[in-house]
């Protein structure tokens, strides 16, 4: 992907940011929340950990971690879209109940060049990032670099579906219904034709696993959801875990 493409992606997310959360809920029948909760569970995040959520967007992975009652010692959400981060920041301002929310660092930056020192975080998560980057290897290499030894990376994204009896229905939903809903709700049909197009062209779960292994991650595993259209991958950086 060229620089121009990455600017197009940034513009696209800036445009859809006001309706992004609502559109997610509608098109996934509310399942998006469950998948983020699974991402947190499989990331092994626990009290006193430091968390980096890359491509945090409107911050929903972080909010899910906090709502699960995990008391983190450092919380950072990074994204390159100002529009998406503005929604995250205002969600934080509007919810003053949890002191954890005040501690979140929302940072504008590029997933391919993370602005953090080596070995900074216990856990690095990302949801729906890898499909958008020009260089998946580089994105995982950066995540590996900023992880502490013994830390874990966990990645949630759509995944190309294997052919099954459900395929015609799933394709109809992805290719017809989602873009229709997208134009209705967010006024941006092209952003929601981008989703099925990039999903189809994306790495299979096995290919993504191999990239993670090549990057250096150990114990790499994955789990699929929603008729095999969503996958969560996770893997560890070798070393003793912080206690
Ligand atoms: C589909 S949204 C996902 C947001 C959030 N993680 C969630 O669970 O809803 C994808 C996000 O990735 C961000 N993104 C894509 N490429 C990026 C990059 N190279 N660096 C930083 N953010 C990026 C976009 O700005 C967008 O907010």
- Which percentage of the chain shows pLDDT scores above 90? 69
CB 40 within 8 A of CB 64: yes
Reduced 3-state DSSP string for 139-163: HHHHHHHHEEEEEEEEEEEECCCCC
Which protein residue has the closest C-alpha to ligand 1 atom 4? Answer: 57
Note the pLDDT tens digit of each residue in 199-238.
989 999 999 999 999 999 999 999 999 989 999 999 999 9
CA distance 224 to 161: 10
Check pLDDT > 80 for residue 2: no
| Residue-level pLDDT at 165 | 86
Paired residues of 104 in beta bridges: 75
Average pLDDT over residues 147-165: 94
CA distance 188 to 56: 21
CA distance 29 to 26: 5
Site residues for ligand 1, CB cut-off 6 Å: 6, 9-10, 13, 55-57, 60-61, 79-81, 84, 110-112, 127-129, 132-133
| Residue-level pLDDT at 171 | 87
- CATH number (1.10.10.10, 3.40.50.620, 3.50.50.60, 3.40.50.150) of 3-161+203-236 reads 3.40.50.150
CA distance 171 to 64: 29
| Residue-level pLDDT at 243 | 54
| Residue-level pLDDT at 103 | 81
Average pLDDT over residues 115-142: 97
Provide the pLDDT confidence category of residue 184 given band limits of 50, 70 and 90. confident
Overall pTM surpassing 0.85 (yes/no): yes
Average pLDDT over residues 2-27: 87
Contacts of 152 (CB under 8 A, 6+ apart): 43, 44, 122, 123, 124, 234, 235, 236, 237
Mean pLDDT of the chain: 92
Provide the pLDDT confidence category of residue 191 given band limits of 50, 70 and 90. confident
Note the pLDDT tens digit of each residue in 76-115.
999 999 999 999 999 887 666 666 676 899 999 999 999 9
CB 125 within 8 A of CB 116: no
Q: How far is the CA of 8 from the centre of ligand 1 (A)?
A: 13
Would you kindly state where each structural domain of the chain is located, as residue ranges?
Answer: 3-161+203-236
Task: Among 52, 53, 128, name the best residue to mutate to test ligand 1's pocket (greatest count of ligand atoms within 8 A of Cβ).
Answer: 128
């Amino acid at each position: 992907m060229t620089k121009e493409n990455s600017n197009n992606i940034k513009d696209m997310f800036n445009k859809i940011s006001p309706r992004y959360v609502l559109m997610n809920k509608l098109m996934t029948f509310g399942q998006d929340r469950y998948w983020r909760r699974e991402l947190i569970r499989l990331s092994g995040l626990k009290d006193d950990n430091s968390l980096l959520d890359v491509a945090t967007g409107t911050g929903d992975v972080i909010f899910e971690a906090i709502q699960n009652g995990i008391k983190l010692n450092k919380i950072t959400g990074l994204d390159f879209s100002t529009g998406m981060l503005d929604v995250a920041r205002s969600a934080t301002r509007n919810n003053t109940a949890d002191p954890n929310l005040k501690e979140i660092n929302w940072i504008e930056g590029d997933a391919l060049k993370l602005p953090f020192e080596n070995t900074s975080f216990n856990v690095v998560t990302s949801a729906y990032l890898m499909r958008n980057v020009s260089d998946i290897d580089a994105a995982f290499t950066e995540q590996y670099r900023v992880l502490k030894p013994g830390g874990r990376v966990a990645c949630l994204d759509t995944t190309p579906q294997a052919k099954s009896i459900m395929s015609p229905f799933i394709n109809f939903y992805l290719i017809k219904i989602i873009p229709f809903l997208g134009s209705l709700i967010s006024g941006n049909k092209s952003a929601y034709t981008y989703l099925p197009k990039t999903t189809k062209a994306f790495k299979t779960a096995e290919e993504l696993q191999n990239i993670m292994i090549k990057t250096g991650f150990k114990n790499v595993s994955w789990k699929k959801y929603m008729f095999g259209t969503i996958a969560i991958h996770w893997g560890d950086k070798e070393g003793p875990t912080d206690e």
